[in-house]
Amino acid sequence: MPEIIPLPGCTAEPLSNYLKALGVLRLVVEQKKDPVAKGCWRNNAFALITNLSKDELVEFFLQDYQPSPLVAPWNGSTGFYPKDNKKTIEAILYSQTERLADYRETVHNAQKQVDNLKLTVQPKDKDEKRKLLTKLRNNLPDRAVKWLDSCTLISSEELKFPPLTGTGGNDGNFEFSRTFMQQLQELFDFQSGTPKENADLLLQAALFDVTVPGLSFAGKIGQFNPIAAGGANAAPGYDADSRVNPWDYVLMLEGIMLFTSGATRRYEQSEAADFAYPFTVRPSNIGYGSAADGDEARAELWTPLWSAPTGLKELELLFNEGRVKVGGRTARDGLDFARAISSQGEQRGINEFIRYSFQVRNGLSYFAIPLGRFQPIVNPQVDRLVELDGWLSHFKRAVSDEKAPASVKRVHRRLETAIFELSLGRKPLLDVLIALGEAEATLDRSLKFTKDKFLQPIPTLDSQWIEDCNDSSTEFRLALALAGRELRQRLVRVRKNKHGRNEWLENDDSITTWQVGTLENNLIALLRRITIESEQQSKQQEQNLNTESGTEWTFPQAQLDDIVRWIQGDVDDARIEEIARGLSLVNLPKQRPHSSLPTLPIPIAYALVAVVHHRTLKRDALQIVFDLNTLAQDLTLPPVPALLGKLAVGDCYTATGLAARRLYASGLNPAIREGMFEPGDRTRRIAAALAFPISDVSIARLLKQIKRFDPNTNSKE
């Protein structure tokens, strides 16, 4: 019966401990030949399922483990060149133990390839290095090639390095394979192969988290464990030396080889090809507390955690196919990866990902900084972003220019953050829509940069965005009604060309009215512009515009209760504007007019001016509200030119007096014959409220509130 052996020393974080867990499983399967060996993550630590007992596991590593032959003659100071320190590599070559037999063969073979190329120092340029690597790959034993594939990606065109192993198995001046040999010497006698006196206790610490008082082994662990790397603030006091358990380092590098990317098989001809490595993408400086545009990072690695017992073959398949797709393409950066795991991670049996960023910290050295844990959450709304992929990629390339305006960089960062948070189930799609609206406004204000980068306006979004973003708030409903007034051209200089595609306007046509200021002011300015445009239309065009039946399909309209909340100031104006900006990007479908019965008392002043401002009283709507069947036609009121101006300056008495007289002169006999008083600030809210379109039935209800309609006095109309 297989035994479950918890390995509390092999935790999911830091990265060194994660890799150590993979190394344990790989070695037990490949060298101990345990056919049932599997592994999984439980309580933040690795659990090994094996036929071995705990004591047998320890005995295997102490007595039978044969180190993988890690050599890197393409790097400097590795012992393969005349001026190198050869002490460690010669200790391997002159060893007698069977456990280093593969190592001796590999070192001898590698030296032969170096000599054949007549190299006296490490290769300096990539072409020379690629020639050496190609020879090594063709001649070294399979166990050595696995390390080589972990460090390099060789293509016919160029040489690339997986970020997990730095720049070809080294990080700055820290060379991995040389350190691996040195740490092995701390554990084993190279002549006899027997473990040294403290190897057992150190192994207990590495696997089972047994405390080792006064760990005295000075050494480096590189980018894989920033705390163990020492330095400032790594321990009590001002500074700390690096202290590394040799088993931690040895097993960590044994685990790295599960990340052999199969690069030559998986290489893709795409802009993402240089990151065609397991679960590795370009960095995105978003989604963590200290994120900043200036962060210099080499790459991101998203390490998977799984709770179901999984064998080595399954894990090799998982890592060899360790790419995720977003919108049918390979994920390019951390943002893409977050989008992709909203569905694919769960499908692959992965419960969680730990996100690491390889960031510059000490000179040329990098640290694998954990940026958080992320559980795959199925979120169909993330799929809405596929239609924006082309535009988002172009936008990202544009802001990568160091001369990009700071405002554009900021809005791009906010947009990517909103997408990241959506992908992880932390924020709704509405936040992304709002960020898109803000992005287009910023690009409009930086139009020279936008056009220089050939950055087109945001594509018109599918109408499904409305349903997916609707938060059932008053602000959303008012914003939707406002967006239905062809709002986009009022907000930014974007127009439809003759082919129906959005493009930036070459010359200002005065249609765009929006300015920096309050929503109230901008709505009043919008109404003034609409009034001017209406006066410029021909009479026939105006009649055609105003004679749609109240029962025909139309764009979204506001409900009277929401209008009342606006007038009373019980809404978030800034929220309405930011939602309206987003909704202006959406293809708004027409719908049948809907007018629910108001439950809030409607200000009479608004009812008066709204009816007069609307001007056309539809026969069908009046019949519905007044339960009449005798009207022959619609009723059209003459315009009141001064109405909006008086409301805009807060003169409610004059405005409502003009409205009442217009209704009386048209034979509608309102109960109110004189003006009404309202505070100036509330009057301006009433003026701005006229920008929210309402249905013909709502207008009829407002008229009914002013005075019950008498058809006998209006038959002449």
pLDDT, tens digit, 9 for 90 and up, residues 367-397: 999 999 998 888 889 989 999 999 999 999 9
Q: Which residue has the tokens 């709502």?
A: 698
Backbone angles phi, psi at 325, to 5 degrees: -110, 145
Mean pLDDT, rounded, of the chain: 87
pLDDT average, residue stretch 195-214: 91
Residue 542 has pLDDT above 50, yes or no: no
> Where does the pLDDT of residue 366 fall: very low under 50, low under 70, confident under 90, or very high at 90 and above?
confident
Question: Where residue 278 falls among pLDDT bands split at 50, 70, 90?
Answer: confident
Residue 642 pLDDT > 70, yes or no? yes
In this prediction, residue 521 has a pLDDT band, given cuts at 50, 70 and 90, of very high
Answer yes or no: is pLDDT of 231 > 60.
no
The number of CA neighbours under 13 Å toward the Cβ of 617 is 28
CA 285 to chain centre: 10
What's the pLDDT score for residue 198?
92
What is the C-alpha radius of gyration for the chain, rounded to an integer number of angstroms?
36
Give CA–CA dist 413/392, Å, rounded: 12
Model confidence at 708, in pLDDT bands (50, 70, 90)?
Answer: low
- Measured CA to CA, the distance from residue 544 to residue 187 in angstroms comes to 91
> Tens digits of per-residue pLDDT, 414-432?
999 999 999 988 999 999 9
Q: Comparing 711 with 655, which gets the higher pLDDT?
A: 655
Instruction: Give me the helix-helix angle, 560-568 and 604-614, nearest 10°.
Output: 120
**Res 101: pLDDT:** 95
342 within 8 A of 376, measured Cβ to Cβ: yes
The predicted pLDDT at position 34 comes to 93
Q: Are 281 and 300 in contact (CB under 8 A)?
A: yes
pLDDT given for residue 590 in this prediction: 83
Q: Are 699 and 612 in contact (CB under 8 A)?
A: no
pLDDT of residue 296: 80
Whether residue 263 contacts residue 149, with contact meaning beta carbons closer than 8 Å, is answered with: yes
Kindly indicate the confidence band of residue 195, based on its pLDDT and cuts at 50, 70 and 90: very high
**Over pLDDT 90: what percentage of the chain?**
64
Among the residue ranges 140-144, 219-223, 356-360, the one predicted with the least confidence is 219-223
Which range has the worst mean pLDDT, 157-166, 451-460, 579-588, 607-616? 157-166
Give the number of other CB atoms < 10 A from CB of residue 294: 5
Cα gap 330→340, rounded to integer Å? 9
- Long-range Cβ contact pairs of 393-398 (< 8 A, separation 24 or more): 394/453, 394/454, 394/455, 394/456, 395/439, 395/455, 397/453, 398/449, 398/450, 398/453, 398/455
Q: At 549, list the tokens.
A: 């039946």
For residue 591, the 8-state DSSP code is: B
> Residue type at 286?
I
Q: Which of 18-22, 215-219, 304-308 has the lowest mean pLDDT?
A: 215-219
User: Would strands 280-281 and 297-305 be described as parallel, antiparallel, or unpaired?
Assistant: antiparallel
* Segment (H or E) for 151: helix 142-151
Highest-confidence segment of 151-155, 568-572, 633-637? 568-572
Mean pLDDT of all residues in 104-131: 92
Torsion of CA 568, 572, 573, 577, to 10 degrees: -140
pLDDT at position 632 is 61
Helix (H) or strand (E) holding 176: helix 176-187
pLDDT band at 344 (very low <50, low <70, confident <90, very high): low
Residue type at 697?
Answer: V
Q: Looking at the predicted structure, is the pLDDT value of residue 538 above 50?
A: no
Rounding to the nearest 10 degrees, give the CA dihedral for residues 215, 218, 224, 228: 50
For residue 364, pLDDT over 70 is answered with no
CB 193 within 8 A of CB 67: no
* Partners of 366 in beta bridges: 360
Report the 10 Å Cβ neighbour count for 653: 15
Describe the crossing of helices 604-614 and 652-665 by its angle, rounded to 10 degrees: 50
Q: Where would I find the beta strands (DSSP E) of 453-512?
A: 494-496, 502-504
Kindly tell me the burial class for residue 510, based on how many C-beta atoms sit within 10 Å of its own C-beta (0-12, 13-18, 19 or more): exposed
Q: Is the pLDDT confidence value at 274 over 50? A: no
The pLDDT value given to residue 272: 42
How far is 106 from 113, CA to CA, in rounded Å?
11
Neighbour order of strands in the sheet with 310-311: 3-11, 45-50, 38-42, 310-311
Give the integer Cα–Cα distance in Å for 222 and 248. 12
Percent of the chain with pLDDT strictly greater than 70: 88
Report pLDDT for 552.
63
* pLDDT (0 to 100) of residue 219: 65
Cβ count near 395 (within 10 Å): 23
Question: What's residue 627's pLDDT?
Answer: 60
The per-residue pLDDT for 145 is 93
What is the DSSP annotation of 32-55? Answer: S--TT-EEEEETTEEEEEESS-HH
pLDDT digits (tens, 9 = 90+) for 64-86: 999 999 999 999 999 999 999 99
CA–CA separation, 689 and 563 (whole Å): 7
